[in-house]
Amino acid sequence: MSALMAVGKGSNGHVAGLKSSGSRASSCHGRKIAMAVILIVEDDELVRQIAELMIEDRGHSTFSACDMDEALSVLRSPQHIDALFTDIRLKAAVLGGYELARQAIKLWPKLRVLYTTGNFLPEKKSALFVEGAHFLPKPYTQEQLENAVEELLAA
């Protein structure tokens, strides 16, 4: 589990389709990182939009959803998703991010998962993470999110 840092709380938007296509490879800190398609699930619209901009700024493509149902719709589509960046506490389901990740892994077994929350995360809650997941606490800076995404994709 990786502990880094984020920008706000949950979101209120809707599935927003593919945001950008970005190039397919980038060299960061001497490492070659393939560009990825990342599904961002955040119930706070402003936080979701900022995360999208930060991730797209690194050349990755994004889909976004405001809740578990919208996220599962994206995950069930034919669109390939490389990583899931999800808030743990989604308004409709306090632990919705955990359940979303479990269902997402069933659909995409090689999916990489990055959890986030602005709430205290006791060790017993991190036991609910899917295997290999990373964690980025809120609030986070652009550099922290970029580093967390790079670390997740390199794992």
Q: How does pLDDT run across 38-55, given as a tens digit for each residue?
A: 999 999 999 999 999 999
- What is the count of structural domains for the chain? 1
Q: Is residue 4 part of a domain?
A: no
The residues that bridge with 44 in the sheet, in sequence order, are 11
- Note if the pTM is more than 0.95: no
Residue type, position 126, single letter: S
pLDDT score at 124 = 75
Phi then psi dihedrals of residue 147, to 5 deg: -65, -40
Query: Does some domain include residue 14?
Result: no
Terminal-to-terminal C-alpha distance of the chain = 11
pLDDT at 121: 81
Q: 77 or 33: which carries more pLDDT confidence?
A: 77
- Domain range for 104 is 25-154
On whether residue 13 sits in a domain, the answer given is no
Q: Does the residue 90 lie in any domain?
A: yes
Contact 90, 10 (CB under 8 A): yes
Is residue 105 within 8 Å of 113, Cβ to Cβ? yes
CATH classification of the domain holding 78: 3.40.50.2300
77 within a domain of the structure (yes/no): yes
pLDDT of 71 over the 80 cut: yes
10 versus 62: the higher-pLDDT residue is 62
- 19, part of any domain: no
Is 2 a member of any domain? no
